[in-house]
């Protein structure tokens, strides 16, 4: 197997990296208190990326893409994550769109895909409920037929970016008498529909990313049903496979690891450089291995997608390794920084601008959201290794 990038891919990486360096020089303070200013800057970046055709390069040309290889799209995602650049809507580009390309009608593709490629919309994902997390098929949000519409009632929770979103992908129960994995349908809903309410959930790092979304007699046209009615579980599962894919974990992790290594080389602990501590050296070496393993799993997933395959166990492998890598990075960082590691962003004494402290708090949810590590290991065991269910 050839692990080298092509000349075209290398040239694009250099072009994108140089462009991001220039654009991000005008960014508001990263991680500052003004979330609205950061969001506005992200929207400006999204429009510029869309104008260059970079948001959806691997898409077919008829839907706003360039029809290039999936590895070009990986290079894009890798550089964006490494540079901590805003502007992507992963819910739209990485999750909704490829799912719609597999299960959607031509009418749905023509309606919903071009606005994503142009950077005009933000999507969010309505899956989890107050009583349905890892056991997602137990969801109780109901959609009842009424003429040309479905009427939705219920509650979704932990809905990332719902307060910013224009559309939401909703898993609903349309046949309450069917077995729980049957009787579920996948709907696309406008967030401005009457009866839809968004309430914020602030995490322990003080961020507003999560939300609770309530549906009170929300009408959704039947033409927004993706796939077969009562067979939406399979549509939703396809989207989960795309959600769990991605090179973002390793790219962002590599940036943090480089910063930790630089800190270890320039700072001492108990009278000697942190970089000379054999325990810390060993932990940093282990993290370097984890970053590369996560990266190669992501490359394999991209190759599969380029072959027209939907990664399943491979996505779960990438999700387990990638999210646990994030936690290992922040745990090592907190140990390295000592008591100063507890200082929040904004404190003039906070090492690395308080990024490790913030990362340590937000990373708690990494191995829970998008399917817990336990669920991913079950998928790897049963669908990957053919092991019997316990």
- As for how many domains the chain has, the answer is 3
104 belongs to a structural domain: no
How far is C-alpha 14 from the chain's CA centre? 24
- Residue 64, in any domain of the structure: yes
Q: Is residue 248 part of a domain?
A: yes
Q: Which of 78, 79, 129, 243 does the annotation list as catalytic?
A: 243
pLDDT of residue 32: 62
pLDDT at residue 1, as a whole number: 56
- For 108, what's the count of Cα atoms within 13 Å in the CB-facing half-sphere? 21
- Residues 212, 257 contacting (CB under 8 angstroms): no
d(CA 150, CA 155): 16
Could you count the other beta carbons within 10 Å of the beta carbon of residue 140?
Answer: 14
* Same domain, residue pair 215 and 249: no
pLDDT tens, per residue, the chain with 390 residues: 567 899 999 999 999 999 999 999 988 776 666 899 999 999 999 999 999 999 999 999 999 899 998 899 999 999 999 999 999 999 999 999 999 999 999 999 999 999 999 999 999 999 999 999 888 999 999 999 999 999 999 999 999 999 999 999 999 999 999 998 999 999 999 999 999 999 999 999 999 999 999 999 999 999 999 999 999 999 999 998 888 878 999 999 999 999 999 999 999 888 899 999 999 999 999 999 999 999 999 999 988 888 888 888 999 999 999 999 999 999 999 999 999 999 999 899 999 999 999 999 999 999 998 889 999 999 999 999 999 987
CATH of the domain at 205: 2.40.110.10
91 secondary structure, DSSP code: I
Q: At a CB cut-off of 8 Å and minimum separation 6, what does 358 contact?
A: 31, 205, 344, 345
Find the domain containing 35 and state its range: 7-88
For the chain, give the longest Cα–Cα distance.
75
Indicate which CATH number applies to the domain containing 30.
1.10.540.10
Total residue length of the chain: 390
334 plus 296 within the same structural domain? yes
Are 196 and 64 within one domain? no
The reported pLDDT for the residue numbered 241 is: 85
In a shared domain, residues 258 and 361: yes
**Within a domain: residue 112?**
no
Q: Is 243 a catalytic residue?
A: yes
């Amino acid at each position: 197997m050839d692990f080298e990038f092509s000349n075209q891919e290398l040239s694009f990486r250099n072009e994108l990296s140089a462009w991001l360096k220039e654009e991000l020089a005008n960014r508001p303070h990263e991680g500052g208190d003004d979330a609205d200013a950061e969001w506005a800057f992200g929207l400006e970046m999204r429009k510029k990326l869309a104008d260059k055709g970079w948001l959806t390069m691997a898409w077919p040309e008829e839907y706003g893409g360039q029809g290039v290889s999936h590895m070009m799209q990986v290079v894009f995602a890798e550089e964006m994550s490494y540079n901590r650049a805003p502007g992507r809507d992963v819910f739209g580009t990485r999750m909704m769109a490829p799912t719609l390309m597999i299960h959607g009608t031509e009418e749905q593709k023509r309606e919903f895909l071009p606005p994503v490629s142009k950077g005009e919309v933000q999507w969010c994902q309505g899956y989890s409920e107050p009583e349905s997390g890892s056991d997602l098929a137990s969801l109780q949000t109901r959609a009842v037929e009424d003429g040309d519409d479905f009427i939705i009632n219920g509650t979704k929770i932990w809905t990332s970016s719902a307060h910013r979103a224009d559309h939401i992908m909703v898993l609903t129960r349309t046949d309450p008498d069917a077995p729980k994995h049957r009787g579920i349908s996948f709907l696309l809903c406008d967030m401005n529909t009457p009866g839809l309410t968004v309430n914020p959930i602030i995490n322990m790092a003080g961020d507003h990313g999560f939300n609770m979304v309530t549906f009170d007699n929300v009408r959704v046209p039947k033409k927004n049903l993706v796939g077969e009615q009562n067979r939406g579980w399979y549509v939703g599962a396809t989207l989960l496979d795309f959600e769990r894919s991605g090179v973002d974990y390793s790219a962002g992790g590599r940036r943090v690891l480089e910063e930790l290594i630089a800190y270890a080389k320039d700072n001492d602990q108990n009278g000697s450089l942190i970089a000379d501590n054999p325990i810390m050296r060993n932990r940093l070496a282990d993290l370097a291995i984890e970053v590369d393993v996560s990266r190669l799993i992501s490359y394999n997933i991209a190759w599969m997608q380029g072959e027209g395959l939907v990664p399943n166990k491979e996505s779960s492998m990438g999700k387990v390794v990638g999210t646990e890598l994030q936690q290992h990075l922040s745990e090592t960082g907190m140990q390295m920084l000592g008591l100063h590691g507890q200082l929040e962003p904004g404190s003039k004494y906070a090492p690395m601008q308080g990024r490790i402290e913030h990362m340590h708090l937000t990373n708690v949810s990494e191995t829970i959201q998008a399917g817990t590590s336990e669920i991913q290991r079950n998928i790897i065991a049963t669908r990957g290794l053919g092991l019997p269910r316990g």
